[in-house]
């Protein structure tokens, strides 16, 4: 690997950490919970529906805001692309987690989709 490639990789890694911190702060501000908390918690199906719907809606909103900013900003750069990628990744992860945990009960999953629709419209 050439030195310029190593420098770019290091720079991208630093930016990813900064963006991750920014997104974490926004998440904590919105939900008042630590996203890295691995403690066990029990939730009712209704609480799970609400938690997942709000979480997916949050990341969808972040993605839409970012896309709007990109469309109106002629100075869109590599850092913006990296942030967009990270938001899309977080959205994909939470959607996959919600699907895997809620789809086993069709009624619960349908309620989740309805609640998500309410939040994003």
> What is the reported pLDDT for 121?
84
Residue 95 to residue 120: CA distance in whole angstroms: 14
pLDDT at 74: 75
42-87 per-position pLDDT tens digit:
889 999 999 999 999 999 999 999 888 877 877 777 778 888 889 9
What integer is the mean pLDDT of 4-24? 75
Domain ranges within the chain, ordered by starting residue: 3-34+43-120
- Please give the model's pTM, rounded to 2 decimal places: 0.84
Selected residue with higher pLDDT from 23 and 38: 23
Quote the CA–CA distance of 40 and 113 in Å, as a whole number.
Answer: 25
- 76 Cβ partners below 8 Å, 6+ apart? 70
Cβ pair 108, 102 in contact under 8 A: yes
The position carrying tokens 């939040």 is 119
């Amino acid at each position: 690997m050439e030195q310029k490639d190593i420098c770019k990789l290091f720079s991208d890694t630093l930016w990813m950490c900064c963006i991750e911190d920014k997104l974490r702060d926004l998440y904590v501000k919105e939900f008042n919970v630590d996203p890295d908390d691995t403690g066990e918690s029990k939730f009712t199906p209704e609480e799970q529906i609400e938690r997942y719907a709000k979480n997916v809606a949050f990341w969808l909103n972040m993605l839409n805001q970012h896309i709007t900013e990109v469309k109106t900003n002629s100075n869109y750069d590599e850092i913006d692309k990296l942030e967009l990628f990270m938001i899309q990744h977080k959205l994909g992860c939470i959607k996959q987690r919600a699907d895997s945990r809620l789809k086993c009960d069709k009624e619960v999953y349908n309620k989740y989709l309805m609640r998500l629709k309410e939040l994003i419209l």
